[in-house]
Amino acid sequence: MDAAGEGRPILFSRPDLDDDDADAVLRVLRSGWLTTGQECAALEAELQSYLGVGHVVAMSSCTAALETAIAALGLAPGARVGVPTWTFVSTALAVVRHGAVPVLLDVDAETLNLSPVALAASIERLDAVVAVHFGGVAVSKEIHQLCAAAGIPLVEDAAHALGATDHRGRVGGHGTAGACFSFYATKNLTCAEGGALATDDADLASFARSYRLHGLSADSWSRHRDEDSDEYDLVVPGIKANLPDLLAALARSQLRRLDEMQARRRRIVGRYRTVLGDSPDLTVVPAEAAVGGADHLMVVVLPEGRDRRAVASAMAADGIGTSVHFRPLHRFEWFTRHAAVVGPTGTSTADRLAPRVLSLPLHPGLTDGDVDRVCRSLRAALDA
């Protein structure tokens, strides 16, 4: 690595943007139509082809997609929905907002995905499950099998998993109650804010297209073009969650080189694994490089008893950004007081790992030298 790079800050996350991305946004600005229209429809078609799925409905966020998928289930008030405790709060809040109760389940130590053991012990008392593909690693086939055998719907929180594959092919809602993706600023494909619901279920797709626009039977683009623009109705009380063309154009541009960006992420993760491989007191998540993983996060588990804040502060002093994914949901006071119960197997794995996980920088702009510098800083912080 050249000496000039030693003092340069290494951001935890940075979007990979190029001139084509900028041109796509400018094209929409100059068109005069900024909200949901042709660009959004084109993005949906392109994602549908990329994922190999029957339907894609673009939305304002993954959170909105999750809320829509949960709403489509028509759960009764008080219904119990299994949710991994190791996730961002939005996963469980999508359940809460529809009057259901999140049942917080433990995770697998090697992947931090929903534990099949925890799910199996709880499933007889669940009405639905939301599974998170943590860090872009798809949940195990056993999760799908357990839900299918119990006859309960499985919603996929695929915020980290665009481009990931599993036993079904590309993660895309095949055989489930929908897969929900995120295009947030830190994601592998970004348009700043945005998301999508992917499904093979035509009825779910139709519901989502209405639900994302207050529950109306026609969107503004359709009403703008249709001579009978006043002939639309309110189908169901929905939410405002459509994706504007301005953002859809950026997402389309990003999608054209997503595989290239994913391949770069895989090489960076490989470099991390090689350099950290001689650190017996560190564990990488997942324990083995996941075949078909989307490589969204580079998570390490620090040695037991180490002060994570001190490690992160030391690395920050070296100009290196870090983060934490995640604080388990059962450690949030609001959930413990108002809206959740813990599954019968408890949360021992999550509790053991919660103070020790640290997310290292991972984005396509990193060089091998950057990775080496991050690892040196981490090693020095641990040795201090």
Q: What is the mean pLDDT of the chain?
A: 95
Residue 367 sits in a domain whose CATH number is 3.90.1150.10
- Going by their DSSP bridges, the two strands 128-132 and 80-84 should be labelled as parallel
- Provide the 8-state DSSP code for 339: I
At residue 135, what is the residue type?
G
Asked if 187 is an active-site residue, the reply is: yes
Catalytic residue among 55, 144, 170, 187: 187
In order, the DSSP letters of 239-271 are -B-PPPHHHHHHHHHHHHTHHHHHHHHHHHHHH
pTM over 0.85: yes
Is 164 within a domain?
Answer: yes
Give pLDDT, residue 218.
76
57 and 117 assigned to the same domain: yes
C-alpha neighbours within 13 Å on the C-beta side of residue 234: 5
Collapsing DSSP to helix, strand or coil, 155 comes out as strand
346 and 222 assigned to the same domain: no
Closest CA to 312 of 321, 304, 303: 321
Q: Residue 323: pLDDT above 60?
A: yes
232 and 360 assigned to the same domain: no
Range of the domain at 286: 258-383
Number of domains the chain is built from: 2
Mean pLDDT computed over 339-355 = 95
235 and 103 assigned to the same domain: yes
Give pLDDT, residue 228.
56
In order, the DSSP letters of 220-243 are HHHHHH-TTTT---B-S---B-PP
250 and 269 assigned to the same domain: no
Give the model confidence (pLDDT) of 5-22 as tens digits: 677 999 999 999 999 999
274 and 332 assigned to the same domain: yes
Residue 2 pLDDT level (bands cut at 50, 70, 90): very low
Mean pLDDT computed over 22-44 = 97
331 and 247 assigned to the same domain: no
129 and 246 assigned to the same domain: yes
263 and 249 assigned to the same domain: no
Give pLDDT, residue 3.
44
CA-based R_g, the chain, Å: 21
C-alpha neighbours within 13 Å on the C-beta side of residue 231: 4
Neighbours of 379 (CB within 10 A): 16
User: Is-contact 36 221, C-beta < 8 A?
Assistant: yes
263 and 379 assigned to the same domain: yes
Q: Residue 4: pLDDT above 60?
A: no
Closest CA to 159 of 201, 191, 188: 188
Residue 1 pLDDT level (bands cut at 50, 70, 90): very low
81 and 223 assigned to the same domain: yes
Give pLDDT, residue 225.
56
Whose structure tokens read 């991390």?
272
| Percentage of residues of the chain with pLDDT beyond 70 | 96
Residue 114 sits in a domain whose CATH number is 3.40.640.10
Give the model confidence (pLDDT) of 70-121 as tens digits: 999 999 999 999 999 999 999 999 999 999 999 999 999 999 999 999 999 9
Give pLDDT, residue 321.
98
Give pLDDT, residue 350.
98
Is 7 within a domain?
Answer: no
- Going by their DSSP bridges, the two strands 169-170 and 179-182 should be labelled as unpaired
Give pLDDT, residue 5.
60
Give pLDDT, residue 229.
62
Q: Residue 147: pLDDT above 80?
A: yes
Mean pLDDT computed over 159-187 = 98
249 and 299 assigned to the same domain: no
Q: How far is CA 136 from CA 173, 199, 281, 364, in A?
A: 15, 18, 24, 15
